[in-house]
Structure 1
Amino acid sequence: MYSILALVLGFTFSNSEAQVPANASPAPTNINQNGCPCIFQDNRVLFTVNAPEATKVQLDLGKLYDMQKNDTGVWTVTTDPQVPGFHYYSLVIDGFKFADPASESFYGTGRMASAIDVPEEGIDFYDIKDVPHGDMRSRVYFSKTTGTWRNINLYTPPGYDENPNKTYPVLYIQHGGGEDERGWAVQGKTNLILDNLIAEGKAVPMIVAIPNGNATKPGVNARGYNDEAMAVFKEELFENIIPFVEKNYRVKPDAEHRALSGLSMGGGQSFFTGLRNTDMFNYVGVFSTGLFGGIREQASFDAESVIPGILTNPQKFNNSLKVFYISVGEQDNRIEATKKLIETFKNKGLNVEFASFPGDHEWQVWRKSLHDFAQKLFK
């Protein structure tokens, strides 16, 4: 419960076991469901931490909140109303950042960090329900590209093991920057989204492959939205990931039954790799990518130079893609650049489906994107 760094610095801290106020509920991401963080009906959140030796404690949740100490050494703060969705945060104790011992930690900011999941009223598509459930399976494979053993998570739909002669289509889904194969499997709630959609008859039973898209190769600048980085990703996907999935799982190994999608960095990977290889993927989904602009690193974007023919010969893509899908959060800095490109695509005659959802660059938007995209696949 205590941090080694905190002990070195001369103080200890722990979950305060604070009583939940009558008009609040424990966050679903809490380790102890009898304590705080606690979410009020207006989405304000009460945080508490027991740190009697500390001289200053703050909460870093998008902005810094100063916490107040009582006479027993418990620090508390109530935040502004939070947007529904998944929010990473840290405790800042005497200038040092720590994970909150009261909350689960998740890998998603280039490190393990605490997070709070604020429920959205009326949204239950990623809740656990009384429906048949598939499996989330963790496997390892050897990558000839990176020269290392790598992890991959795979969702298999309900009935996979009970129907040994049945084959399935596959969705390959990519995480964003600072994330890995845990993102869609944990924060993204892929298994629950697919379980519920399949039970409702809104999605075809499918396998979802969730690999680590952070592939590096000696001597190659495999970072950012450039041809070198995308070539390494393509090699990892085509020569390692897809062969592993098709050797070990009962899949339909053709473009008609293969989809590629991703969020943020993974959306850029899906755009490059999916549209440059429509002979491999008939379905391409791009969620919240900064490839089109809206971020400091991407000042300009020329779709035709990246994907030759996409503006000058759109019918080629219309004939080979069954679904080309782009989504983004309505409060995301990327939205205006994305909308501008969507308008260009449509004016040139390219078939593209666009969706936007309330939220910034975060998991609630991506969960909704997967929920929407999955319903369009393999029909």
Structure 2
Amino acid sequence: MKAAVAAILAGMVIAGGVSAQTAAPAVKEDFKPSSLNQPGQQFPQVNSQGYARFRIVAPDAQAVKVSLGLGGRGGTVLAKGADGIWTGTSEGPLDEGFHYYHLTVDGGTFNDPGTLNYFGSTRWESGIEIPANDAEFYALKSVPHGNVSQVLFPSPSTGAQRRAFVYTPPGYDAAAGTRYPVLYLQHGWGEDETAWSNQGHANLIMDNLIAAGKTRPFIIVMTYGMTNDARPGTLPNFDVKPFETVLVKELIPYIDGHFRTLSDRGHRAMAGLSMGGFETKAIAPKNLDTFAYIGLLSGGTFSLEDVNGTPGYKDKVKLTFVSFGSRELEGNRAGPPGQPRADPRVNAEALKGAGYNSAFYVSPNTGHEFLTWRRSLYQLAPLLFRD
């Protein structure tokens, strides 16, 4: 188990880097404001090649750097103009999709006042979006839309009222006699229950899939995985049991009692990205009377030894879904340092060959980042709840 967590953590550092290239092309001067900018703000900007440009007003500063840089390392150093304004362009094009970043100004960490903030890395970080060629599947379109609502549920085990966000599909309120399957969808380390809606666009992905007739409508529940008190270096010792209690004993009964769910195990799924995938692998196989569908998104893999050692897995689990970004599978970058990593593709094929319903997906040209997980949800959703 500790090796599995180490593999996930090692993969986390890959997020959001500049795409590998042999020679830097000439930078096109067709920069436009990022789609995530605050209203009326012109910077940061992105061009058609995926370069990012930044502009920070800090006339008294001595040094300004943006955390986005080559491979996520080093950052983009800004240059100060005579007017006291700092500007700079990324060294190369960034991977398509969403990226967190922040500013370092004279050694202090700050958010970019030009863009919106998203909870990641255990703090509210600035966000930038590099337009993706396949962005249509998570675009805001003129289709019927579901709702994302906040609920507060009692948690006697933690002595608190806890929060979850619940996506209900289009037509839920009008279809008073209809009950729906439920996917419990977990965020990664450093994030919280807002991530899948804000960074992941899970609601828009579902709206578009449902409108196209590609998936059965279902409810998605997103709650905090209780992971962020741990820090890198201590996560291999993370105790998932308190969250398992919150999820299985407290949240699921609350959702079944307050929403029109199909509350049998055959209509309930659990999936998660990165650390949320680790939680899914640790919780779902131990609760096969609760979950029939299991998904790991950049969050580990299932081997034949895993499933054969889990009583009832073959009879009770209707789908085992595993996905990664292609950059996560290059070399041994997603594995524990100095140790070989089990090939998730080989594991998925072994499960399929042994008669398990196993699905494996690789997001092209992405790493440990939200475009990988948006694409993964897009692939996963149509496979769920096929009665």
- TM-score, normalization by structure 1: 0.84
How far apart are residue 215 of structure 1 and its match?
Answer: 6.8
Distance 1:71 1:224, change over 3 A: closer
CA distance in 2, matches of 1:141, 1:161: 21
Given that 1:27 and 1:33 are in contact with CA atoms closer than 8 Å, whether structure 2 keeps it comes out as no
CA distance in 1, matches of 2:76, 2:114: 17
Given that 2:189 and 2:227 are in contact with CA atoms closer than 8 Å, whether structure 1 keeps it comes out as no
Residue 334 of structure 1 aligns to which amino acid in structure 2? A
- Report SS of the residue matched to 1:173: strand
How far apart are residue 155 of structure 1 and its match?
Answer: 0.3
CA distance in 2, matches of 1:347, 1:288: 22
Residue 135 of structure 2 aligns to which amino acid in structure 1? I
Residue 339 of structure 1 aligns to which amino acid in structure 2? R
Residue 250 of structure 1 aligns to which amino acid in structure 2? R
Match of 2:288 in 1: 278
Match of 1:152 in 2: 164
Residue 72 of structure 1 aligns to which amino acid in structure 2? D
CA distance in 2, matches of 1:192, 1:88: 20
Greater shift, 340-349 or 365-374, is seen at 340-349
- Matching of residue 181 in structure 1 with residue 177 in structure 2: no
Match of 1:78 in 2: 89
Residue 60 of structure 2 aligns to which amino acid in structure 1? E
- Report SS of the residue matched to 1:29: coil
How far apart are residue 247 of structure 1 and its match?
Answer: 0.8
Match of 2:372 in 1: 365
- Matching of residue 334 in structure 1 with residue 334 in structure 2: yes
- Matching of residue 59 in structure 1 with residue 70 in structure 2: no
Deviating runs (4+, > 6 A) in structure 1?
Answer: none
Query: Which sections of structure 2, spanning at least 5 residues, go unmatched?
Result: 1-27, 336-340
Match of 2:154 in 1: 142
CA distance in 1, matches of 2:274, 2:228: 18
Match of 1:100 in 2: 112
Match of 2:3 in 1: none
Match of 2:212 in 1: 200
Residue 102 of structure 1 aligns to which amino acid in structure 2? G
- Report SS of the residue matched to 2:239: helix
Distance 1:216 1:360, change over 3 A: closer
- Report SS of the residue matched to 2:266: helix
The correspondence of residues 1-379 of structure 1 with structure 2, limited to 5 A, is: 23-61=30-68, 62=72, 63-79=74-90, 80-214=92-226, 224=235, 229-289=239-299, 291=300, 304=305, 307=306, 310-311=307-308, 316-332=312-328, 333-334=333-334, 337=342, 338-346=344-352, 348-358=354-364, 359-379=366-386
Deviation track 1:84-117 (CA, whole Å, cap 9, x = no partner) reads 0111111111111110000111101111111111
CA distance in 2, matches of 1:26, 1:313: 51
Residue 75 of structure 1 aligns to which amino acid in structure 2? W
How far apart are residue 303 of structure 1 and its match?
Answer: 7.1
How far apart are residue 259 of structure 1 and its match?
Answer: 0.8
Deviation track 1:121-177 (CA, whole Å, cap 9, x = no partner) reads 233111100000010001111211211111100001111111111111111101111
CA distance in 2, matches of 1:66, 1:317: 51
How far apart are residue 339 of structure 1 and its match?
Answer: 3.2
- Looking at both structures, which has the greater relative contact order when contacts are Cα pairs under 8 Å and sequence separation is at least 6? 2
- Report SS of the residue matched to 1:229: coil
Given that 2:41 and 2:114 are in contact with CA atoms closer than 8 Å, whether structure 1 keeps it comes out as no
Distance 1:312 1:110, change over 3 A: closer
Structure showing greater Rg = 1
Distance 1:242 1:36, change over 3 A: same
How far apart are residue 232 of structure 1 and its match?
Answer: 2.0
How many residue pairs match? The answer is 339
